[in-house]
Amino acid sequence: SDHPEHVYLTDFGLTKKSLSLTGFTTVGQFVGTLDYVAPEQISGKPVDGRCDVYSLACVVQETLTGAPPFQRDDDMALLWAHQYDPPPPPSGLRPGLPGAVDGVLAKALAKSPDDRYETCLRFVAALRAAASGI
């Protein structure tokens, strides 16, 4: 294989939530773990592989810092944060982390899919380069 290293993530703790958002007249169904959900999933926009980039970036941020990018007291505040709040730079929670990692994660956690890496493979390549100081 061209990419012999693999990480398999299983059981993201999928849950089904019924959400009634202020300003919406219908109740939408959402399936997923709110700590890792991409903004376009929340807003009901079309999703593609860049949604996976966002979710993987959330997992990476939590792995590096011990906390997901957004922590809020309730589900609605968490959904709002994913859509509108800037993610905290991981180096703020983990001193000594190369500053370039902040930029890579900021891009992977961009609110618009158009501003993210096109694939998880490109995200991981950029993360490796940033972490190694290349």
* 24-28, 105-109, 128-132: least confidently modelled range: 24-28
In a domain, 99, yes or no: yes
In a domain, 62, yes or no: yes
User: Could you give the number of structural domains in the chain?
Assistant: 1
End-to-end CA distance of the chain: 24
pLDDT at 128 over 70: yes
- Determine the pLDDT at residue 33: 82
In a domain, 5, yes or no: no
- Determine the pLDDT at residue 28: 53
pTM listed for this prediction: 0.80
19 SS3 class: strand
In a domain, 127, yes or no: yes
Q: What is the CATH number of the domain that holds 80?
A: 1.10.510.10
Task: Kindly report the backbone phi and psi dihedral angles of residue 31, in degrees, each rounded to the nearest multiple of 5, phi listed first.
Answer: -120, 125
Helical (H) or strand (E) element with 124: helix 120-132
Structural domain that includes position 84? 16-132
In a domain, 100, yes or no: yes
